Amino acid sequence: MVNNKLIDLINISKSYNGNVIIDDLNLYVRENEFLTFLGPSGCGKTTTLRMIGGFETPDQGKIIFDGKDITKLPPNERQLNTVFQKYALFTHMTIAENIAFGLKIKKKSKAYIDDKIKYALKLVNLEDYGNRMPDSLSGGQQQRIAIARAIVNEPKVLLLDEPLGALDLKLRQDMQYELIRLKNELGITFIYVTHDQEEALTMSDTIMVMNKGYIQQIGTPEKIYNEPENAFVADFIGESNIIGATMVRDRLVNILGANFPCVDEGFGENKPVDVVIRPEDIDLVAPEDGIITGRVTSLIFKGVHYEMDVMANGYEWLVHSTDLSPVGSEVGLKVDPFDIQIMKKPESDDEEAVVNNEQ
């Protein structure tokens, strides 16, 4: 992707009552990108979104939108629209009036507004709902109206603040596909806030993982999942085994006393590192074929796979496998070299929340 930078956040800091929410954040958003802010609650993701929307002002730093400094511009003068978590529809207006709200303020002609309402309702598959009141719609329908209300204004960027948080699982999955379709049809930039890693992985072009006001990692979903940069990202994105280990030399790592071949280089010799191994990347083999051996201590059927705990070399390994090994059986564990992700050990608290802005 060689798209232009559309939004640029430069050295943004924000605190409430002395609590630092965002510390010196740098980030850019490209045109036509689906960018997701992912992190646990209180990590600063919503605050960052609200600063882009204009509902909060950063204590320090600048927000550049399309080449212009909009740091202090009020929300009503920004060319972006927000979809709020609790829909925020105007309950005393009909669906059509809700959608027309922004256009009426911009003094568009009636014909134009009617056209737009029709178009927007069609886009969100709620064609005959124009005359209904918001209260008579289900949560999923209300959320789609909130999206329609935002996009009729033809924003360059749509901000979505956990828009699917209040919906049930099935509806949430349907809406994820709906959002991807909308994004492709509209060809605009989406900035999406969520704490749900699966949602982020499904929809995003780029994911920014945040914790405690710091960016932990920015990258494509594949990169975030397969090559987490630190233990936090590895732990937050899916389940994983995170183990302290020693890098013996290039392409060989010693995990819990056993030498595993890997593909990483440049960490030095006999240096302490963290390794991440996804549970589905561990192969259960006959004890004599494994790099290490252990005993199955628990077994849970999860539908697609079995989830097993294997006690080996003093660590309880989490293993996902479609093959069953009963509790108490002895198994060998094997990991392909490219499935071992090596991470530098954080040397201080600051580095744990390392700011890394490589996109």
Partner 1 sequence: MVKKIAGKLYVSLIILFLYAPILVLIVLSFNKSKSRNKWGGFTLEWYQSLFKNDDIMTALYTTLIIAFLSAIIATIIGTAASIGMNSMKKVPRTIMMGVTNIPMLNADIVTGISLMLLFVAVNYTLGFSSVLLAHITFNIPYVILSVMPRLKQTNKNTYEAALDLGASPMKAFFKVVFPDIMPGVISGFMLAFTMSLDDFIITHFTRGAGVNTLSTKIYAETRKGIKPEMYALSTLLFVSVLLLLVIINRRNDSISKKRSM
| Residues in touch with partner 1 (CB under 8 A) | 53-55, 74-76, 81-82, 84-92, 101-102, 105-106, 132-133, 135-136, 146, 149-150, 153
Interatomic CA distance for residues 122 and 120, integer angstroms: 5
- Least separation in angstroms between residue 48's CB and partner 1 is 16
- Least separation in angstroms between residue 141's CB and partner 1 is 15
HEC states along 31-95?
Answer: CCCEEEEECCCCCCHHHHHHHHHCCCCCCEEEEEECCEECCCCCHHHCCEEEECCCCCCCCCCCH
- Least separation in angstroms between residue 52's CB and partner 1 is 11
Neighbours of 169 (CB within 10 A): 8
Query: Which CB, 56 or 281, lies closer to partner 1?
Result: 56
- Least separation in angstroms between residue 177's CB and partner 1 is 25
Interatomic CA distance for residues 57 and 49, integer angstroms: 11
Query: Which CB, 7 or 207, lies closer to partner 1?
Result: 7
Query: Which CB, 135 or 358, lies closer to partner 1?
Result: 135
Query: Which CB, 87 or 317, lies closer to partner 1?
Result: 87
CA distances from 349 to 231, 346, 353 (A): 13, 7, 7
- Least separation in angstroms between residue 51's CB and partner 1 is 13
Closest CA to 94 of 118, 126, 129, 127: 129
Give me the sheet containing 68-69, strands edge to edge: 19-30, 5-16, 60-65, 68-69
- Least separation in angstroms between residue 133's CB and partner 1 is 6
Residues written for the chain = 359
Query: Which CB, 80 or 331, lies closer to partner 1?
Result: 80
Phi (first) and psi of residue 333, to 5 degrees:
-110, 135
Query: Which CB, 75 or 238, lies closer to partner 1?
Result: 75
